[in-house]
Structure 1
Amino acid sequence: MPDNPPDLAARVTELRRQGVVGVTIVWADNNGIPRSRTVPIAALEQVAERGVGVTAVFPVFDSHDGITFAYEGLSTPSGDVRLIPVVDRLVALRGQPGFAWAVGRQVAADGTPWPYDQRSILAGQVAAAAKRGLRIQAGWELEFVLFPSDARTLPASPAYSPAALLSVDEFAADLLRDLDANGLRIGQLHAEYGPAQFELSLAVADPLRAADDQLLARQTIHAAARAHGLRASFAPMVTTQGAGNGWHLHSSVWRDGRNLLPGTGDHGLSPEGEGYLAGLLRELPALTALTAPSVPSTARLRPGAWSSAYAVWGVQNREAALRYIPGTPLLGADQANVELKPSDASANPYLALAGVIAAGLAGIEEKLSLPAPVQDNPGAWSAEQRAAADVRRLPATPAEQATALEASTLLRAALGPAAYGAFRAVRDADRAWAAERPAEEVVEAHLWKY
């Protein structure tokens, strides 16, 4: 077990001075749903050393708070693990006076590593990149819909308009203040395409911090919404026909302070940059089982919705599942990154990013090459045109996702057999639950999970 940082006692004293009485320790389960424990501020130093007990079966909670015992490794309700706060991520929450927040990691009862801890799985992939002299940078764009607490929807305003943001003006101002006070850097906040839909872009960071920031941003948005009589939903689908909420994942790969994506090769890519994208493209059908894993996720990934229904890449093509964004003379070559569009809030951010890194590293190592980019909407092509270009549909059902992930030895190895077994059991349980219900009920059941 790591020793407490030398300044923890001083930080506790400062938190007390700010009026903090409790610390909420948060992790994300295999449905992307944040779970937590809150401890008194007086207990933080002890909890930072010894953790707080949680049941061992959280990895087999499904999206509806059911517990599946279909995975043999977690087939009984017995067992306990320790949740340890990452005190380097400790922050007093501006929007929740009296509370501080920290992300947590899970260890076995004796303090040894626990194979189901998703944050540790991501740390393993970060270490694998470091062994190759590589560093990954990542960040999310978060789409969400705001509802009045006493109504089903907000009045629609023109997409991307200041009028839409004006309708929640006080909320937006407080949210920006809260994000800044909570240590979250953002690129922009704006009204999105759907009715009452908004988007927030988080600044890029190292993978662990990026995933932590995603969880903290959720907490910050929910608290700001509540303070203004609103409710925020990050659910992949808000209605069966709506635009849906994506949480697009941007990433880049670096060596010795230089972004490896841009270069003088085809489409402005370096050989290693091409390998990174090609690795993502090869694993894309299986990768979406980690990045967009819920039953409503597959409903969102449909043609013509800018949510990416086909396994293609393109340069600045918003219909492509992998959108390469080159650097420009204005921004600089190092701003180049790749956006993974079939991604949403139902993904565990640590597992999603671990899968991205594993796929990208493999593409670099194997020197994979890319096919020609797709620069228009393949959903508008005929079936014959798509077949001629070898453009294939991404998995359109949870069962197809499960088959694709099972076939990916790379991604299963990145998760490890234990975490993969639990993840697969949860997805099977969700699929069975949804099979007996109409689409409207499935969407409604997920609306306030995120």
Structure 2
Amino acid sequence: MQRELLEKQLREQKIELVRAIYMGPDGITRGKAFRPGELDAILESGIGLTQAQMSVTVFDHLPSLSKYQPVGEVRIRPDVDTFQVLPYLPGHARMLADVETLQGDPWELCPRSLLKDFLSRLAARGLQIQTAFENEFTLSDQTETGWEPVDQLNCFSSAAMDLASPFILPLIDALEQQGIKVEKYYPEAGPGQQEIPIRHQAGLLAADQQVVFKETVRGVALAHGYRVSFMPKISPAFAGNGCHIHFSLWDENRNLFYDPAGEFNLSGTARHFMGGILKHLPALMALTAPTTNSYRRFVERCWSSSYTCWGPDNREASVRAASGYQGQEAATVNLEYRPCDPTCNPYLALSALICAGLDGIENELDPGDPVLTDPALLSAEERRALNMNAYPTDLETALSALEQNPVLLSGLGENRITDYLTMKRAEISMIDSLGDEGERQAYEFRF
């Protein structure tokens, strides 16, 4: 965005505070706000931030084993092209930001800069990735006993749409004012659970859009007297909140995952990319299902997937080969990665998927046979024959898989992964000390 246009918007919209926000490895959106008169200085020099801030847990606790202690400085550098007036909060605007060194170079722990690196690797091959993050979240309003889901009705219930409408319509308006195209809306299976699929974007725009989506959902809810939770599993009795990642690889004008002659219209490139994801799945889940609560969601026959496999339109598979729309198959065939939830950092999650997928393409990894039923309906012997393993049962198991995965360690950077492991293990220790109800209090409204 040109500086003159930005300054014009600041004046006309009577903006009083501009947020420069970033998402740390912990998945929490953080930032600092400044007055419009400081715009030129902020764009030139950024905003100061201690290095240690990128290593804190969701409890704002800095692990003693972290390499990055409260000595050393980095800069929050707003990206002027991401400027948006907040339609749900008069007087406020937002810019997404990178975290840079004092010299203006990408800092080694910045997730947004990492994704830029992986997109550059794709671009060097003449490729780009189209992606959409598909979120589920729980909408609650305040009752005499506290915050409770807005409904106890059925999946896709029209009556549930009625109850959520005072929130949903302002939300759709706020999203579209910020350039996010809403494709559908429906109540999901859990009490108060909502889903709003949005239009895919290329590369960095998709991950940025995920940050803006969550910020807007939360902000509109607060503005209208509601609260939302992106917690993966609020209650054992409720359906969990997932964040499925839809993606496809493209060259300049062609979907490289589509082959009209391929099984299920999938190309060899799509199959190899899936092969990489399935090979690295336990390690990937440390980044795509990054909380202790995430692993409560992976229950058999709960539409969340719980076994390593792929299948055409199989919503109990790790990777669903999503069928294209009739007459538009070449543009709409895509893959859906399912063991992911909204507590993930989208820059890390998408970087990790690209890293695993490129390994699959480079080594022509075979994803194996498609699974054409719910894996839970197969016997243990049948699953073994298909090389179908159960997911990690907890976050520590996934972290150990990441720690032992040379492809992801090398691709994402050992310093980054070492610090991430330290941070997440400190988070596990804190959660373990709090118990189940403490886990809910920690995660329910934090993300």
Shift of 1:237: 1.6
**Equivalent residue for 2:218, pick from 212, 215, 222:** 222
Distance 1:149 1:108 in 2: 44
Contact 2:369 2:386 in 1 (8 A): no
Contact 1:238 1:444 in 2 (8 A): no
The 5 Å alignment of 1:114-193 reads 114-150=107-143, 151-153=146-148, 154-193=150-189
Distance 2:197 2:98 in 1: 25
SS at match of 1:104: strand
The yes-or-no answer on 1:62 pairing with 2:66 is no
The 5 Å alignment of 1:274-353 reads 274-353=271-350
Contact 1:240 1:440 in 2 (8 A): no
In structure 2, the partner of 1:8 is: 3
The one-letter code sitting in structure 2 at the alignment partner of 1:344 is D
The 5 Å alignment of 1:179-218 reads 179-218=175-214
**Equivalent residue for 2:354, pick from 353, 357, 362:** 357
Alignment deviations for residues 410-440 of structure 1 (CA, whole Å, 9 cap, x no partner): 1112221221111111111112122233223
In structure 2, the partner of 1:414 is: 411
In structure 1, the partner of 2:34 is: 39
The TM-score, its normalising length taken from structure 1, stands at 0.95
Shift of 1:203: 1.1
The yes-or-no answer on 1:383 pairing with 2:375 is no
In structure 2, the partner of 1:256 is: 252
Distance 2:105 2:435 in 1: 44
Q: Which moved more, 1:266-275 or 1:392-401?
A: 266-275
SS at match of 1:112: coil
Distance 2:432 2:215 in 1: 31
Alignment deviations for residues 30-68 of structure 1 (CA, whole Å, 9 cap, x no partner): 121111111111111211111011121122111222111
SS at match of 2:22: strand
SS at match of 1:244: coil
The one-letter code sitting in structure 1 at the alignment partner of 2:154 is P
Shift of 1:324: 0.7
Distance 1:434 1:10 in 2: 47
The yes-or-no answer on 1:82 pairing with 2:70 is no
Q: Would the alpha carbon gap of residues 45 and 162 (structure 1) be closer, same or farther in structure 2, given more than 3 Å must change?
A: farther
The TM-score, its normalising length taken from structure 2, stands at 0.96
Shift of 1:101: 0.9
In structure 1, the partner of 2:446 is: 449
Shift of 1:281: 1.4
The one-letter code sitting in structure 2 at the alignment partner of 1:355 is A
Alignment deviations for residues 277-308 of structure 1 (CA, whole Å, 9 cap, x no partner): 11111111111111111100111122111111
Shift of 1:13: 2.4
Distance 2:53 2:308 in 1: 32
Shift of 1:248: 0.8
Q: Which moved more, 1:55-64 or 1:150-159?
A: 150-159
**Equivalent residue for 1:104, pick from 97, 103, 125:** 97
Distance 1:149 1:88 in 2: 37
Shift of 1:313: 0.6
Distance 2:209 2:122 in 1: 21
Contact 2:245 2:340 in 1 (8 A): yes
SS at match of 1:339: strand
CA RMSD of aligned residues (A): 1.4
Alignment deviations for residues 147-170 of structure 1 (CA, whole Å, 9 cap, x no partner): 113433123122111211110212
Distance 1:325 1:202 in 2: 16
Distance 2:237 2:385 in 1: 30
Contact 2:324 2:330 in 1 (8 A): yes
Which consecutive segments of 4 or more residues in structure 1 shift more than 6 A?
none
SS at match of 2:147: coil
Contact 1:31 1:294 in 2 (8 A): no
Shift of 1:330: 3.5
Contact 1:9 1:45 in 2 (8 A): no
Distance 1:30 1:242 in 2: 27
Task: State the identity as a percent.
Answer: 32
The one-letter code sitting in structure 2 at the alignment partner of 1:281 is L
The yes-or-no answer on 1:273 pairing with 2:270 is yes
Alignment deviations for residues 42-101 of structure 1 (CA, whole Å, 9 cap, x no partner): 111211111011121122111222111313x31x21122100101101011111111111
Contact 2:273 2:360 in 1 (8 A): yes
SS at match of 1:188: coil
Q: Which moved more, 1:104-113 or 1:149-158?
A: 149-158
The one-letter code sitting in structure 2 at the alignment partner of 1:79 is G
Q: Would the alpha carbon gap of residues 437 and 384 (structure 1) be closer, same or farther in structure 2, given more than 3 Å must change?
A: farther
Shift of 1:326: 2.6
Distance 1:113 1:405 in 2: 24
Q: Which moved more, 1:361-370 or 1:289-298?
A: 361-370
Shift of 1:260: 0.8
Shift of 1:8: 0.8
Contact 2:142 2:226 in 1 (8 A): yes
In structure 1, the partner of 2:228 is: 232
SS at match of 1:231: strand
The one-letter code sitting in structure 2 at the alignment partner of 1:371 is G
The one-letter code sitting in structure 2 at the alignment partner of 1:416 is G
Contact 1:144 1:198 in 2 (8 A): yes
